Structures are given as structure tokens and as C-alpha cells.
Amino acid sequence: MFRGVQIVPPNTKIRFMAMHKVNFAISLAMIIGAIVLVAVKGLNYGIDFKGGILLEARMDGPADLAALRGSLDQLGLGEVALQTFGGDDHVLIRIEEQQGGDAGQQQAVARIREAMGPSTHFERVEVVGPQVSDELFWSGMYALGASILAIVVYIWFRFEWQFGVAAVLSEVHDIAATVGLFALLGMEFNLTSIAALLTLAGYSINDTVVVFDRVRENLRKYKSMPMRQLIDMSVNQTLSRTTMTSATALLALLALYIFGGEVLRGFSLAMIWGVLIGTYSSIFVGSALLLYMNVRPSTVTGEVAVGKQP
């Protein structure tokens, strides 16, 4: 009889908690590295957040970026960034914000159109002013903060406060590591990136809730079992579900990365990394943090908590 694919063998007994301090060190290194990268190298803010002009142009043949850059530099518009976009005949042009308000931006667009000639077809033109870009940035940050706060409230009501603290720390770990990836690779950080972070937060907490639910269930069933052993058992029991969910999500995201085009490439790459780091944190970080939250059988039964820290 066909039983289906099993990524994780049944009755797996991996001792995850035996290496939790090493995993904490790895996670701490990732978070510190992300902070250093953002502070030193900074994020490559897209036009959504820093303002300016974005044009997507289609050429009649393969684009000569060196020649285009030379002709556009002569216009005196400041910093001009060029890159192929989806194919050799598509070019993405980014220009810093011009002086003179909206009229200045429109004048710059007209000069670019004239410099590139009538054979160039402009498929997209976006102009974002400094006030709008600033509002978009802070709106994105507020949305991210609100999502984390909503997760805190949900976990607090769904579980006990100790689980909520562990879940939030795990979420911060995942988001910080993903932002560090943007800084490391110089990927454009825009509203799509905020959407990727929000999606990642929801995905990661889903995995964490599954593990926490099994931990709480086992706390009620095995009241005399040592906490390390109980968490190991809980993680192993949910390991098959966690890996299968991550594997199916990665298949969809890989397809999106390969076939989704340049517009979705940054989003899909961030999500691929987010699924990997979210799975890692659910198994190695979130559950291990419960060791330091004084979670005991009495924690989930309403009795007074007793016992030593691990």
C-alpha cells in the first residue's frame, strides 16, 4: 500500500536541545552581522523609499548599457543607475530626485525620452517625491510593527506569556536575518520587501505555533518528564509536518524566482531565505527559548510553577 513520501522517518529522536547553545551562538552571530551590515553598508532603498524617477524601457535589440550610460550622464541629472530587466532588450533606469518639484521630474523624464530616441519604447514611468517616499517608508515600518504586536497578542491569548515571549524573539530573529540578507546582497529594499517581511512573519509564526501547541500538549501528558527531553520529543513529533510544509513552500517560491520575472525576483529570494530561516528558528530557536522561560507542567495547568532553570 502506498504511504506517500516521508522526508523525516517515523519515531525520529534527534536531540535538538543538546546543541541549543551552539544554535543560539549562530543566531546571535546572524543578528549582530545583520545590524553591522545595515549600519555600515546600509540598505539599497528603492524609489518607493528614497524618491526619484524609475523608467522601464524596451529597446529594438540588445541594450548597450555603456553607451546608454554615456548619453544619460551628459544630461547632468545626477546619479543614474542602469540594469537589464528580464531580458537583454529591457532596461531599468533609476535617476535621483530632481530639483524643481513635479515640473523638474517631468522635465527630466522628457529629456531622457529625447536622449534615448524614438526607437525606445517606455513601458513604465514612475515618479515618487520625497514626502511620498517618506510616508511610504514609515507606513511600511508601522505595518511591520503592527504585525509583530498582533502576533504577541495572539500568542498571549492562545498560549501562556512565556510562549509569547519566545515566539516574538523568534520572529525578531527571522526578520533581522532577512533584513541582513538585503544589506549583504545589496538587494533593493522597497514596498515589495516589506510585503515579503510581513509574509515571512506570518509563515514563521505558523510553524512556531505548531511546535508550541505540541509542547503544551505534552506538558499536560508527561508532567514528570525533564523539560529538555519533552521539547526534543515535541519537536521530533512535529518535524515531519514542519519540513513538508517548508519543502512545498520552497517549490512554489523557486518557481516564482525562476519564472516570475525581475519584478518579483527580490520578493521571491527574500521569501526563500525567510522560509529557510523560519524553519530553522521554529526548530532550533523558538522551542529552545522555552528552556529559559521557566515553562513547567504547572505553567499550563494553572498551578504554581516550580523547578530549576535548565
Query: What CATH number should be reported for the domain holding residue 189?
Result: 1.20.1640.10
**Grid-cell match 498571549, residue found:** 156
- Domain of 150 in residue numbering reads as 16-44+133-300
Clarify whether residues 97 and 174 are in a common domain.
no
Distance CA 190, CA 301 (A): 45
Mean pLDDT of the region 92-99: 75
Report yes or no on 217 lying in a domain: yes
More confident residue, 261 or 92: 92
Distance CA 243, CA 7 (A): 7
- Is 131's pLDDT higher than 70? no
120: left (phi over 0), alpha (psi -120 to 50) or beta: beta
Q: How far is residue 239 from each of residues 7, 8, 13, 213, 234, measured CA to CA in Å?
A: 9, 7, 10, 13, 9
Q: What is the pTM of this model?
A: 0.74
Clarify whether residues 193 and 252 are in a common domain.
yes
Count up the domains in the chain and report the number: 2
Helix (H, G, I), strand (E, B) or coil at 43: coil
Question: Where residue 25 falls among pLDDT bands split at 50, 70, 90?
Answer: very high
Beta bridge partners of 121: 58
Clarify whether residues 26 and 99 are in a common domain.
no
- Is 31's pLDDT higher than 90? yes
- Is 126's pLDDT higher than 90? no
More confident residue, 132 or 94: 94
Q: How far is residue 134 from each of residues 26, 128, 198, measured CA to CA in Å?
A: 34, 10, 19
Of 76, 99, 128, the last residue of a domain is 128
- Is 237's pLDDT higher than 70? yes
Question: Where residue 59 falls among pLDDT bands split at 50, 70, 90?
Answer: confident
Clarify whether residues 95 and 226 are in a common domain.
no
What percent of the chain stands above pLDDT 70? 86
Look up the CATH number of the domain holding residue 72.
3.30.70.3400
Clarify whether residues 80 and 177 are in a common domain.
no
Distance from the first to the final alpha carbon of the chain = 45
- Is 309's pLDDT higher than 60? no
Clarify whether residues 165 and 264 are in a common domain.
yes
Report yes or no on 7 lying in a domain: no
Report yes or no on 200 lying in a domain: yes
pLDDT of res. 1: 43
Distance CA 178, CA 76 (A): 36
DSSP string spanning 108-175? HHHHHHHHH-TT-EEEEEEEE-HHHHHHHHHHHHHHHHHHHHHHHHHHHHHS-HHHHHHHHHHHHHHH
C-alpha cell at 297: 507542567
Would you say the C-alpha torsion 69, 75, 79, 82 has a positive or negative sign? negative
Clarify whether residues 144 and 228 are in a common domain.
yes
Is residue 75 within 8 Å of 89, Cβ to Cβ?
A: no
Report yes or no on 3 lying in a domain: no
Alpha helices in the chain (DSSP H): 20-40, 47-50, 65-73, 101-116, 130-158, 161-185, 191-221, 227-259, 262-280, 287-289
Mean pLDDT of the region 184-200: 84
- Is 130's pLDDT higher than 60? no
- Is 304's pLDDT higher than 70? no
Q: Where does residue 96 rank: exposed (0-12), middle (13-18), buried (19+ CB within 10 A)?
A: middle
C-alpha cell at 79: 546619479
pLDDT of res. 35: 93
Backbone angles phi, psi at 229, to 5 degrees: -65, -40
Of 128, 156, 175, the last residue of a domain is 128
Backbone angles phi, psi at 78, to 5 degrees: 90, -150
pLDDT of res. 2: 42
Of 128, 155, 179, the last residue of a domain is 128
C-alpha cell at 67: 553607451
Clarify whether residues 174 and 288 are in a common domain.
yes
User: Average model confidence (pLDDT) for the chain?
Assistant: 80
Clarify whether residues 137 and 27 are in a common domain.
yes
C-alpha cell at 126: 514612475
